[in-house]
Structure 1
Amino acid sequence: MMIEAAAKMAQWLRLEDGFTLIAHTSPDGDTIGSSLAMFYILTCMGKRVQVVCEHIVPYLYSFLPYAEAFNTPDTAEKSYKNAIAIDCADKNRMGKAVGIYNASMLTGSIDHHKTNTAYGDYVLHDENASATGELVFHLWQHLGVAVEKSKTALDIACSLFTAISTDTGNFSYCNATPGSFRAAAALVEYGIDIAEINRLVYRTLPIGKTRLIGYVLSSMRLYNDARIGAAILLWEDFLRFGAIPEDVEGIIDYIRDVDSIEIAMILRQTQKGDFKVSMRSKRYADVSAIAGRFGGGGHLRAAGCTMQGQPEAILEQLLQVSTDALGQ
């Protein structure tokens, strides 16, 4: 089925021109790396193409080739008639860029979330893929564009390796499959610098994020015999520690890694006042089902949603559903 879907999408990419690639809001390594790889693949095919995202590329991923190619919906070219959502389980994940998607004549989506709603005229979806970057890798090989070793292929490989690595927790999460490692091995063959990517993504911390980690660890709350761990970050906390929203990425892992915890969650207040909820589980709890109860989604072990209200009331709602997920 995926081979057939890849073939159909490849035919569309070859025949059409003028593509808008849309990354999801609060972009992570997978949506960024996958979008940049697709950007360069289509550029090599001689296509007019742009990448659009409601939010700018976090500094953490600014090292990726052509990261500066990202546009906001306001500055994007509106005349392109094709749009592809990258790593967006549903249209809501596109944020303000959804208007561009809905206005396009032909649409597609490349995604690996199990909650994907199969939207678009051309759909490349596999929930068994570790990352959208893995799907883009196979599409790239199918297209046969710039697949020989070169500086161009090296740039594409760097973006895709980062996409797969970040969505598998540096190949440590349960979603890392033999297919993930085969794709990664093929990408390494292009000569990417794994040590440098690892240093930039996993071993480099801004001082604001370092302080934020300390605060989360010291203020973390435990529930249900320490099987649920939660932290609340108010907007004022970011101001107090000199941190920015993107600094939250990865901090939830410190909560999940506590030996007794099965479900970890962080409630992050935005400047607008609503709360972005991130959830992770360790062995058996389905956090995508928890997020789904509040209009969100994601994966079995990693999911999220957006909620409004007072943080303590939001936390109480989440705890009620999370307790059920623990089997109590």
Structure 2
Amino acid sequence: MSNTIQKINEIIAKSSSFLITTHESPDGDAVGSSLALASYLRSIGKDVTIHFCDPVPELYTFLPLADTVLQTIPDKTYDICFVLDVGEFRRAGKAVASCQSITAFINIDHHLSCDEFGIINLIDSTASATGALIHRIIKSANHPISFDIAQCIYTAVITDTGSFRYSNSNPEAFAIAGEMIACGVNAWDIAEKLYESQPRQRLELLAQVLPTLTFTPKGDVASVTVTLDMYEKTGTGPELTDGFINYPRSIRGVEVALLFRELKPGSWKIGFRSKGKVDVASLSAAFGGGGHHNAAGCNMDGTFDEVRARLFSHLEKVL
């Protein structure tokens, strides 16, 4: 692992133009790790472009450089494209996959199952977050952690560990959090922005979603559903659904929670969450998806009743 990080730092040193991207519907780790890496590269004089196929969710717009993220890729040559936290290369979006001006890719990830598409693949499924891997890269280069970088890394780690409630809350995660606070991060300030400043429309959307709560006959699987009609009624979008899946997961007796999110008529994105006993990465893999032991996802086509019936039937058989 240390040799891989050393190679990444050697490539950074001899390259000048970088593109940074992450997965569709970016979460706190995706945004935080991307912005931390961008802040680091800019601080050492590199030309950096940040591109997400989807906008930065409002929840994370307080982070430094969030306002510089683009949804299009400028027409220029990039020595290296860092692809962070995607699991599968396709999740970086069509613009990245079809970009002819990228010389090479470096893949940084902590998903249990991950495509190895880069000239270097820094993959460590024991890392609490991709932000933790960015922290290792910066520390290996003996570069000081600025306040801006610290905010981004702290956000990446705290969100992907569920505020240190999930099983990936390992000693490294706590050590990084402590170090970022020593760098000036105010733990309450970040928590207030992440958890105490949600827009009114998010709760209005949640009020539409919670009545869809459904259980399998044994009660060990529960789901909630977000439809396009709900977005229209509340004037919201998918960026406000982050965390909704935690409501069914929090129910006593539920081991696997699902969030059905309608992408377009006949197309669904399904999020999987586990309390630890069940490996949802393997469950989602049966439907072409992937992820971590406790968090995974996949896409499926069909009517809602068809998709839910297929998933519930499969889960009842394997659990």
TM-score class, shorter: over 0.9
Measured in 1, the distance between the counterparts of 2:99 and 2:171 equals: 34
Measured in 2, the distance between the counterparts of 1:70 and 1:137 equals: 21
State the partner residue of 1:164. 157
State the partner residue of 1:78. 76
Measured in 1, the distance between the counterparts of 2:27 and 2:184 equals: 24
1:116 is matched with which residue: 114, 117, 121? 114
State the partner residue of 2:61. 62
- Farther-moved stretch of structure 1 (227-236 vs 59-68): 227-236
Check the 8 A contact 1:112/1:127 in 2, yes or no. Answer: yes
Q: TM-score, normalised by structure 2?
A: 0.96
Q: Which amino acid is 2:240 matched to? A: D
State the partner residue of 2:198. 205
Measured in 2, the distance between the counterparts of 1:178 and 1:278 equals: 27
Superposition deviation, residue 224 in structure 1: 3.2
Superposition deviation, residue 104 in structure 1: 2.0
Counterparts of residues 1-328 of structure 1 (less than 5 Å): 2-72=1-71, 74-99=72-97, 103-147=101-145, 153-271=146-264, 273-326=266-319
Check the 8 A contact 1:87/1:110 in 2, yes or no. Answer: yes
Measured in 1, the distance between the counterparts of 2:96 and 2:41 equals: 21
- Farther-moved stretch of structure 1 (299-308 vs 263-272): 263-272
Measured in 2, the distance between the counterparts of 1:203 and 1:260 equals: 28
State the partner residue of 1:150. none
Q: Deviations over 1:253-308 (max 9, x none)?
A: 01100011111101110246511111101131111111111111111111111111
Check the 8 A contact 2:223/2:259 in 1, yes or no. Answer: yes
Superposition deviation, residue 103 in structure 1: 4.9
Q: Secondary structure at the match of 1:266?
A: strand
Measured in 2, the distance between the counterparts of 1:316 and 1:104 equals: 42
Superposition deviation, residue 88 in structure 1: 1.2
CA RMSD of aligned residues (A): 1.5
Q: Secondary structure at the match of 1:38?
A: helix
Q: Secondary structure at the match of 2:152?
A: helix
Q: Deviations over 1:135-174 (max 9, x none)?
A: 0011111112233xxxxx0010000000011000011101
**How many aligned residue pairs are there?**
319
Measured in 1, the distance between the counterparts of 2:215 and 2:16 equals: 53
Check the 8 A contact 1:22/1:97 in 2, yes or no. Answer: no
Superposition deviation, residue 6 in structure 1: 0.5
Does the C-alpha gap of structure 1 residues 273 and 146 become closer, same or farther in structure 2, counting only changes over 3 Å?
Answer: farther
Runs (5+) with no aligned partner, structure 2: none
Measured in 1, the distance between the counterparts of 2:99 and 2:194 equals: 30
Measured in 1, the distance between the counterparts of 2:180 and 2:53 equals: 29
Q: Which amino acid is 1:67 matched to? A: A
Measured in 2, the distance between the counterparts of 1:218 and 1:241 equals: 15
Does the C-alpha gap of structure 1 residues 230 and 85 become closer, same or farther in structure 2, counting only changes over 3 Å?
Answer: same
Identity across aligned pairs (percent)? 31
Check the 8 A contact 2:77/2:103 in 1, yes or no. Answer: no
Q: Deviations over 1:191-247 (max 9, x none)?
A: 101101101112222222112222332220111321110122210011112321111
Q: Secondary structure at the match of 1:304?
A: strand
Measured in 1, the distance between the counterparts of 2:152 and 2:315 equals: 35
Q: Secondary structure at the match of 1:187?
A: helix
Check the 8 A contact 2:73/2:95 in 1, yes or no. Answer: no
